[in-house]
Amino acid sequence: MNDFLNYLLLGLTRGSMYAVIALGYTLVYGVLQLINFAHSEVFMSGAFASYLAVTRFVKEGDRPAWYIVVALILMGLLVGAAVGAAVAWTLERVAYRPLRRRGAPKLAFLISAIGASFFLSQLAGKMFNRLTSNTFPEYFNRDKAVISVGGVNLTLIQAIVIGSAVVMMIFLDRLVSGTKLGRAIRGVAEDAPTAALMGIDIDKTISRTFMIGGALGGAAGFLFGTQLVFGNTMGFIPGVKAFAAAVLGGIGNIRGAMLGGLLLGVVESLVPTFPWWHESGWVGQQWTDVVAFVILVMVLLFRPSGILGERLGRAA
Partner 1 sequence: MRTRSLTKLAALGFAGTLALSACGSSGSSGGGLNNDGGSGGGGDATYTIAFEGPLSGDYQQLGINEVNGVQLAIDQANAKGDLGFKLKLMKADDGGDPAKAPAAAAQVLQDKTVVGVIGPSFSGATKAVGNIYGDAGMTVITPSASNPSLSTLGFKTFHRIVPNDNVEGSQAAVWLAKKAKKVYVINDLSDYGDGVANAVQEGLKKAGVKIIKQGVAGGGATKDYGTAAAAVKNSGAAAMFYAGYDADAAQLATALKAAGYKGIRIGGNGIKSSVFTDSSKKAGDGWYMSCGCLDATVAPAAKQFTADYKAAFNTDPSTYSPEAFDAANALIEAIKAAKAGGGVTLASVNEAVNALNYTGITATIKFQEDGEIVPENQVVNLFQQKGGAITLLGNILEQK
Q: Site residues (CB under 8 A) for partner 1?
A: 3, 6-7, 10-11, 13-14, 60, 99, 102, 104-105, 107-108, 111-112, 114-115, 118-119, 122, 125-126, 130-135, 138, 142-143, 155, 157, 224, 228-229, 231, 233-234, 237-238, 268-269, 272-273, 277-280, 284-286, 288-289
Give residues with Cβ within 8 angstroms of 90, minimum separation 6.
Answer: none
Nearest residue (CB) to partner 1, 38 versus 254:
38
Nearest residue (CB) to partner 1, 211 versus 222:
222
CA 28 vs. chain centroid, Å, equals 13
Query: Distance (Å, rounded) from C-alpha 302 to C-alpha 209?
Result: 30
Which H/E stretch holds residue 184?
helix 180-190
Give residues with Cβ within 8 angstroms of 95, minimum separation 6.
Answer: 38, 112, 113, 115, 116
Nearest residue (CB) to partner 1, 89 versus 274:
274
36: left (phi over 0), alpha (psi -120 to 50) or beta: beta
Query: Distance (Å, rounded) from C-alpha 74 to C-alpha 198?
Result: 38
Nearest residue (CB) to partner 1, 125 versus 309:
125
Query: Distance (Å, rounded) from C-alpha 12 to C-alpha 221?
Result: 17
Closest CB 47 distance from partner 1, rounded Å = 12
Q: Do residues 46 and 83 touch, judged by C-beta distance below 8 A?
A: yes
Nearest residue (CB) to partner 1, 180 versus 286:
286
Task: Give the residue from 263, 233, 235 showing the smallest Cα distance to 247.
Answer: 263
Nearest residue (CB) to partner 1, 141 versus 179:
141
Q: Do residues 256 and 309 touch, judged by C-beta distance below 8 A?
A: yes
Nearest residue (CB) to partner 1, 194 versus 280:
280
CA 52 vs. chain centroid, Å, equals 20
Closest CB 66 distance from partner 1, rounded Å = 20
Closest CB 74 distance from partner 1, rounded Å = 23
Closest CB 264 distance from partner 1, rounded Å = 12
Closest CB 197 distance from partner 1, rounded Å = 26
Closest CB 315 distance from partner 1, rounded Å = 29
Closest CB 236 distance from partner 1, rounded Å = 9
